[in-house]
Amino acid sequence: MFDRLRKAFSPSSGSAARPVTNKEVARWAASQQLAIVPSATEGHFDLGGDVGGHPWRLECGAPTRDYVRGLELRGRADVGADPDAAVMVLNRSLHEALEGSAYNAITDTLQTTVNTNLPEEMRWLAMYEEMTWPGLPASFRQHFAVIAERIEVAQRWIHAPVVSQLLNFLEGEHSAARAQSPLVLMLVRGKVYLRMEHTERSLPEIEHATQMLLIGAQAAMQNLPPMSVAGPDDLPNLER
């Protein structure tokens, strides 16, 4: 089922720059006052800290998704956001590939319900719709898809800082490769999750991943606190 995904996201044959070493990652983490767990395997690491008093973690290791090649950067921030909020942002190329695979997985087995064995990202594509709204920049809609259960929740989380950080990731000399490299940012179960391919094996890529996770976490804490704190009246009325 994932053969097409593997081909779509296979690495280019061009020569790559020297991968960042674990020592370089450790020095950078120390300069940022981040905790890091050393690993004997080059390219693997586990670092973390806190954001607004809530713990977060970013690790790099073997991929846990078939659409990721090489190493995978995956992060989680336990920010205690509204547990009912469900929003996913993924880059456009991954959205198209997963959408096709999700459709094939269901039709090939003549299923009428979503297979719980599918990755969560694919189940969401079967359950929820892509959301868009007038304030979302055209450049963002070109490169990313927002999948959510409720548009008002998506609007509260995907605001200017999150949009800017995701678009900033596509800038620079590796912009074309980054646009095709799998990336998923999710808000679900009160936590923010990040999953992306460590394509460049560079320190700037790790820095971008860290910033995406932290900015997503800050946006969730500020704009989608638990309902017991925010209250239902704090949700925007789109008809006003």
Residue range 135-183, pLDDT digits in tens: 999 999 999 999 999 999 999 999 999 999 999 998 867 778 888 899 9
> CA 18 → CA 35, 43, 202, distances in Å?
25, 12, 8
pLDDT, tens digit (0-9, with 9 covering 90-100), for 107-117: 555 555 555 56
Residue 25's pLDDT band (cuts 50, 70, 90): very high
Residues 45 and 21: beta-carbon distance below 8 Å: no
Residues 47 and 206: beta-carbon distance below 8 Å: no
> What mean pLDDT do residues 62-85 have?
95
What's the rounded Cα separation, in Å, for the pair 52 and 190? 14
In this structure, the number of other CB atoms found within 10 A of the CB of residue 15 comes to 5
> CA 48 → CA 41, 60, 126, 187, distances in Å?
18, 12, 33, 18
- 30 pLDDT above the threshold of 80: yes
User: Please, what is the Cα angle at 223 between 35 and 193, to 5 degrees?
Assistant: 45
pLDDT, tens digit (0-9, with 9 covering 90-100), for 178-232: 888 999 999 999 999 999 999 999 999 999 999 999 999 999 999 999 854 444 4
> CA 207 → CA 52, 116, 235, distances in Å?
19, 33, 33
Q: Which two tokens stand for residue 139?
A: 């450049």
**β-sheet bridge partners, residue 131:** 146
- What value does the mean pLDDT of the chain take? 85
